[in-house]
Amino acid sequence: MVQLRHLRETIPEWFNNALLTTQSKPIYGNHPNRTGEDFPALTKINARAYLRASTNEQDATRAREQVEAFAQERSLPIVGTYIENESGAKLVRPELFRLIADSKPGDVLLVEQVDRLSRLTDADWRKLRSELDAKQIRVVALDLPTSWQLVQEGDEFTKRMFAAINAMLLDMLAAVARKDYEDRRRRQAQGIAKAKAEGANRGRPEDTGRNAGIAAMLRSKASWTAIQAAFGCSRATIAKVAKRQPVAA
């Protein structure tokens, strides 16, 4: 994941100053040097936590404590937690869209990192952003400090400025997450191709003795059911062996 400090080299100085402010303490009204103690209690904002992992072998709840601690530090109530094991490269994810359906205007979608929300193509990311914008859902990610300002009170100018900055960086990090996904898939494919070329395919080695027996039974016109019973193999295995048999003239 590209760190925000790497992005600062390409954006104006006023943004760097604003970013540093959000990382130290929130801005209240037109008084950046004051804290929340100088102002009335903030309007309550509800959050919905989204926790995702790509496969069933991975722990989708890994970051739950971190997300809940973030919300607790900001007195941000989590009214729902949505957990699923689905690829971030898929647009249609049951729990994500249940979260969107349950959300009310102004609710926060809280995630550990932007890549937990999206590793989508640009077209699918735009569709998801459209769904979020239609419900007026604000995305807050622990790895995107500018988004933290979205759960704080401020004057209209400050809120609009940070909303615009956050939208820009959200798009950038979603693009980075997609590129990371594509890079990993490419490296994986290259590794598999190399292993096959070296005769070190990670798949199970072929059971040549069993397959020879299957071939013999196929030549003797035995039924596939009988072959399955004899060798405890799948019909897919029988079909694979059958394809290798010479075609009768």
Q: Which of 149, 132, 131, 129 is nearest to 140 (CA)?
A: 149
The whole-number pLDDT of residue 80 equals 97
* pLDDT per residue as tens digits for the range 195-213: 777 765 556 778 888 999 9
Predicted TM-score (pTM) of this structure: 0.62
Question: 3-class SS at 49?
Answer: strand
pLDDT, mean over the chain? 82
Q: pLDDT at residue 41 above 80?
A: no
Sign of CA dihedral 177, 180, 185, 186: positive
Give the length of the chain. Answer: 249
What residues are labeled active site? 54
* pLDDT per residue as tens digits for the range 135-163: 999 999 999 998 998 887 777 888 788 88
Q: pLDDT at residue 30 above 70?
A: no
Rounded-to-integer distance, Cα 199 and Cα 36, Å:
65
Instruction: Name the residue with higher pLDDT: 219 or 30.
Output: 219
